[in-house]
Amino acid sequence: MSEPPGDLGLDDALDLEPGLPPVKAAQEAGRGSATPPRGGGRPRLRIGMWWRVALVAGMLYAFILVLGDIARAGGLTWRGGYLGLAVCLAPLEAYISNRMIKRRQLRGDDRRRFRLAEVVMLVVVLQLLRFLWQGLPHLGGKIERLFDVEFFLGSLIMLGCWSLVALVVQWLEEIEFQPSEAPLSATAPGYDLWVGSHTRRLQHTAAFKHVRSLYLAGAVLMLLMAAMAQVNPGHYVDFGRTGLRYLILHVLLYFVLGLALIAEARLSLLHTTWQHQEVDISPQVARRWPWLVLALLGISVAISLVLPVQYSVGLIETLSYALNLLFTVLVTLLYLLLFLVGLLLYPLRWLLARGQGGEAPPPPEFQQPPEAAPPAATGHPLLDTIKSLVFWLVALAVVAYALYNFAREHRSSLENLPILRSLYRLGRWLAGAWQALRRRASQARLALAARLARPPAAARAGAQARRAKRLGRLTPRQLVLQYYLATMRRASSVGLHRRPSQTPDEYSDSLAGAVPEVHPDLTALTGAFVEARYSEHQVDAAYAHGLKPYFVRVKRALGEWVRKRAQAAPRGPVA
């Protein structure tokens, strides 16, 4: 019988033809069969699913081993080796039964009857294995002795594992590209529908996420169970006890197999997505995948072996020690500074002592600062403390990073929580307050800088005296020029510049337009300037000094003009 197109798995496809892109081959195999293959025939296992079933079986076996550890830790005699064997067969059975249900399209009561038959069969197989493992019990004519506590407990565990595994196997199958999803020809009637359909693709991703979540939840459960088996429950809250330093092999087995399963499922999911998008897939992606996973895990294991796993010192003590250490460093620096100052002053002290006829003082000595005492710990206190410090830093980083990512990924749902909304409002208020504080500080800094830039009253008085002295040294001609140029400087500083083409008279008229009340003063200053600048006759000293009131009035008028203009200017928008 030829293999139906739908049975073409990933690994099969990869081994079809080396030169042909596998997906194309799969598409060619799947093209034209828009409906899943029906009819009879034996269910055939795909190679990819074999691996997955084996991995799931291994993980379940590890789980049963941990159960055995718990039983032994509780003082019970563990005789459940057969249970491990039975649960290893559960994934295989679940996979085959899922395929049969799908192939025969069982629904409703038919499906329930099928499942019931499976349950009965599983219980019977479990008991058979038990009898093979332990031998037949002495019934003594009482058949009810077969149904003891072990029977019920074993069946419960077996059926629990089986139902979980059936779900996992179903998810693993859902990750894979289904033959019914094969791309249709562009001219096929349902092409548009097929192109626009994203539902199946979403289901693939959801199935992968289910598998991964279940694996992680199982990992937590495994660790708790392993801890129950290894640590005395009375010592759970004893933080002073030393850590357990041995390897728990079956927990390791669970994690290794689980990571392999997740990595393989991830590859399948990618392949499925690419098949949906009609992507040509290089065979190298699948070939290199296991090596890259191994490399990633190898590097991660190497890093984990370097990091500390012990904390002889608690978190609070470690933080306290770290702060103490910082304080000690600062004090040491201060002591060093004082020692250097003492060394610099020593010659002076020596000279003073010699001058007074006394003995030379001893040179200064560096005093030892107080050391930060490491917290009480066994072994090497400092080394233990540093290890603890690294440990807690890593731990805090783990928690912070995980929380950050969690908050980022669940931002929309977290924002709807009332307490977080209040916190968000508080955060916004604090941020606003901080901004206001910064604004005020900036304003204060500017005001201080302006105040510092302005000379104090005494300095101003000194400057005036110096200016008067300087003016007193000028000749009358220079004094006239000085008054006019000072007027010009002041006018320019308030924005009334003289254009290069303007004559003194023109400039005077333009200034008079701004300050008409001092027009006569400006005319007097300008006339005096023109006379002093261009005439050759002597300038009278009294005449020169007599210009000061004109200059003062013009100066005041310009100051007034600036104030009026500032008041008249429109203010900025009010916040």
Partner 1 sequence: MDMGLFLVILFIVAAVLRVDFFFYILYVFLAVYLLSRLWVSRALRQVKVKRRLDSHAFWGEQLPVRVEVSNDGLLPVPWLQLQETLPQPLAFPPVRSLAVSLWPHEKASLSYTLDCRKRGYYHIGPLRLASGDLLDTVSRSFSEQGMASLIVYPRLLPLEDLGIPSRSPFGSIKRNTAIHRDPARVAGVRDYRPGDSLRHINWKTSAARGSLQTKVFDPVISLDTAVFLDLERGHYEPSHAITTTELAISVAASILAQLARQRQPFSLIANGRDPLAEADASDGAGESGRASTGPSLPMRSGQAHLVTVLEALGRIDNREVEPFAAMIQREMVRLPWGCTVVIVSGNGEGLLGHALRLERSGFNVVVVLVDYHSDLRRHSHELEMAGATVYRLGQRQELTRMKV
Two tokens, residue 247: 């390897």
Least separation in angstroms between residue 464's CB and partner 1 is 57
CA proximity to 388, closest of 308, 326, 316: 308
CB of 255 to partner 1, least distance (A): 6
Residue type, 116: L
Tell me how far, at minimum, the Cβ of 272 lies from partner 1, in Å: 12
Contacts with partner 1 by CB under 8 A lie at 186, 208, 212-213, 216-217, 219-220, 223-224, 226-227, 230-231, 236-237, 239, 241-248, 251-252, 255, 259, 262-263, 266, 269-270, 274, 277-282, 284-285, 288-289, 292-293, 296-297, 299-301, 303-305, 307, 309-310, 394-395, 398-399, 401-403, 405-406, 409
DSSP 107: -
Residue 476 φ/ψ, nearest 5 degrees = -55, -40
Q: Smaller CB distance to partner 1: residue 92 or 265?
A: 265
Least Å distance, CB 141 to partner 1, is 49
Considering the complex, state which of residue 305 and residue 450 has its C-beta at the smaller distance from partner 1: 305
Report how far Cα 202 is from the mean position of its chain's Cα atoms.
27
User: In this complex, which beta carbon is closest to partner 1, that of residue 116 or of residue 398?
Assistant: 398
**Residue 217 CB-half CA count within 13 A:** 7
- Closer residue to partner 1 (CB): 217 or 337: 217
Nearer to partner 1, 309 or 345 (CB): 309
Shortest Cβ 408–partner 1 spacing (Å): 9
- Measured from the CB of residue 192, what is the shortest distance to partner 1 in angstroms? 12
Which of 145, 96, 141, 101 minimizes the C-alpha distance to 122?
Answer: 96
Q: Which two tokens stand for residue 36?
A: 């899943």
Q: How far is the CB of 380 from partner 1 (least distance, A)?
A: 18
Shorter beta-carbon distance to partner 1: residue 340 or 399: 399
Task: Work out how close the CB of 48 gets to partner 1 at its nearest, in angstroms, rounded to a whole number.
Answer: 17
Of the pair 82, 208, the CB lying nearest partner 1 is at 208
Using the CB atoms, write b or e for 31-43: b if 16+ within 10 Å. Answer: beeeeeeeeeeee
Helix 249-276 vs helix 47-73: crossing angle, to nearest 10:
150
Please say which residue, 248 or 528, places its beta carbon nearer to partner 1. Answer: 248
Alpha-carbon gap, residue 495 to 558, rounded angstroms: 10
Give the distance from CA 495 to its chain's centroid. Answer: 55
In the three-class reduction of DSSP (H, G, I as helix; E, B as strand; rest coil), residue 218 is classed as helix
| Residue indicated by tokens 């669970």 | 254
Which has the closest alpha carbon to 3: 20, 33, 22? Answer: 33
Instruction: Match 């085959």 to its residue by tokens.
Output: 96
Interaxial angle between packed helices 315-355 and 381-409, expressed in degrees from 0 to 180 and rounded to the nearest 10: 120
Number of residues written out for the chain: 575
Q: How far is the CB of 470 from partner 1 (least distance, A)?
A: 57
Nearer CB in complex with partner 1: 185/442: 185
Nearest CA to 257 out of 286, 210, 215, 213 is that of 215
